[in-house]
Every structure is written in structure tokens, then in C-alpha cells.
Amino acid sequence: MTESEEDSDTSHSETSFSEDDGGRISQIMRALELTEGVQIARRYLAMNAFDGALTMLGLILGGLISMATASPEVVFEATLLAAVGTSLAMAISGFSGSYLAESAERDREVEEMGKAMLCDMSQSMYAKATRTTSAVVAIVDGLSPAIAAIIVVIPLMIVPFGFLTYYQAFFAAIAICMFLLFVLGLFLGSISGKSIWVYGGKTLLAGIVTAILIFFISLVTGASH
């Protein structure tokens, strides 16, 4: 094959990557498959949703304990504000941090590949795929903890409408958090190909241990008195 034919084939491959009739979603999926981005996004989804749920569990348990010695209304408002603010912070931090880290790593990978092949790979199909992967992974990284956190605090959000009391909302949020942790464990178990119930039990145990430690710390510090 001549050099001109090789260039033609490369150009055709890059064109097919960007202009195939599969639509934007299929283009993104091809990019993720080419760069193993599906596995990375999946890990970020489970890991950061887990972090988001546990973070909310800590905030809610702290608020519930504080209600024993402070005004329930004040504690509720402070906890809800902290939960929403933390969710927003996790989304921004997750997106920006992941995008910068993934972009830097992918750029280095493309540059090293170019050096090995003695050519400029910056506009290659693979380079374009890595940029797509970096963006998708960053979105997953930013949204997964925020969405998990928002799901947990839904009971607190409906208190102003009179559907739940302060205490009912806090206990409902804790129950939702534990259920979400268990579901994440099932998801991880399905990925691993091992027992989903074992993984579900492990993630649920993490939530229970977190709750026990928070109550223990409140007793030691006198926060619950």
C-alpha cells in the first residue's frame, strides 16, 4: 500500500468516526470503547456515588444528633443548606478535577504514542476519542456524587411542604442512604461477576460502621448531651 493510500485510509477512518450515521451517542460510545473509557466511567460512577451517599449520611446523622440539644428548625435549615452546598461542591470539584486529571493523562499518552510512531498524533482518531472520553468521565465523576447526595436528602427537601416532620425526614433520609449504599453494592457485585449480595452487604456495612462511629464520637465529645 502506498503512502497516499495509507493517508486516504486514515482520513476515511477519522471521517467515519465523526460522521457515521449512528448519531452523537454512538460516536461517544465508540470513543469510550476505543479508549476503555466505559470501565473508567463505571468505576467513577460507583466510587463517587458511594462517596456522595456516605457524605450525606455523615451530615444527616450530625444534624439528627444536634437536634437533641438545639432547635430542630435551626438544625434542619443548617443541615439542608449544608447538604445542598456540599452536593454542589462535589459536582464542581468532581467535574473539574477529573477533567483536568484525565486530560493531562490522555494528552501524555497521545504524545508518547506519537513519539513512538514518529508522527503527530494530536489530530488522530485516537486523540479525538481521548478528548471525548475525558469529557464523559468528568461528567460522570461530577454528577454521580451530587445525584446520590440529592437522592438522600429528598426527604429533607419536602419538609417545607408539610409532608414530613423534621425527625421523620432525617430518619427517612438515613433509610434512603442505607438502601442506596446497598444498591451500589449490588451494582459493584454485578460488575465483578461475583455475589451481588456479598457486595451489597459490604457497602451497607460501610454505612452502618459510619453511623456507629459518628454516634460514638458524639458520646465522647458530649455533642449529644
Residue 85 belongs to some domain of the structure = yes
Q: What is the pLDDT of residues 118-138, one digit of tens each?
A: 676 666 676 677 777 788 888
Tell me the average pLDDT across 172-180. 94
Residue 3 belongs to some domain of the structure = no
**Residue 223: band (very low, low, confident or very high) from pLDDT cuts 50, 70, 90:** low
Residue 13 belongs to some domain of the structure = no
Q: What is the pLDDT of residues 86-118, one digit of tens each?
A: 989 988 888 888 778 777 877 777 777 777 776
For residue 201, the model assigns a pLDDT of 92
Residue 6 belongs to some domain of the structure = no
For residue 103, the model assigns a pLDDT of 76
Residue 14 belongs to some domain of the structure = no
* CA neighbor of 61 nearest in space, from 208, 183, 205: 208
The total number of structural domains in the chain stands at 1
202-209 contact pairs (CB < 8 A, 24+): 203/50, 204/178, 206/50, 206/54, 206/181, 207/53, 207/54, 207/57, 207/177, 207/178, 207/181, 208/178
- Residue 65's CB: how many other CB atoms inside 10 A? 19
- Residue 40's CB: how many other CB atoms inside 10 A? 19
Residue 70 belongs to some domain of the structure = yes
**Residue 57: band (very low, low, confident or very high) from pLDDT cuts 50, 70, 90:** very high
Q: Give ∠ CA 161-166-170 in degrees, rounded to 5.
A: 110
**Residue 151: band (very low, low, confident or very high) from pLDDT cuts 50, 70, 90:** very high
Tell me the average pLDDT across 193-201. 87
Phi, psi of 122 (to 5 degrees): -65, -25
Residue 4 belongs to some domain of the structure = no
pLDDT score of 155 more than 90: yes
Asked which of 26-30, 118-122, 127-131, 167-171 is least confident by mean pLDDT, the reply is: 118-122
Count of positions (residues) in the chain: 225
For residue 225, the model assigns a pLDDT of 60
Parent domain of 137: 25-216
pTM: 0.77
Residue 5 belongs to some domain of the structure = no
- Which one-letter DSSP state was computed for residue 48? H
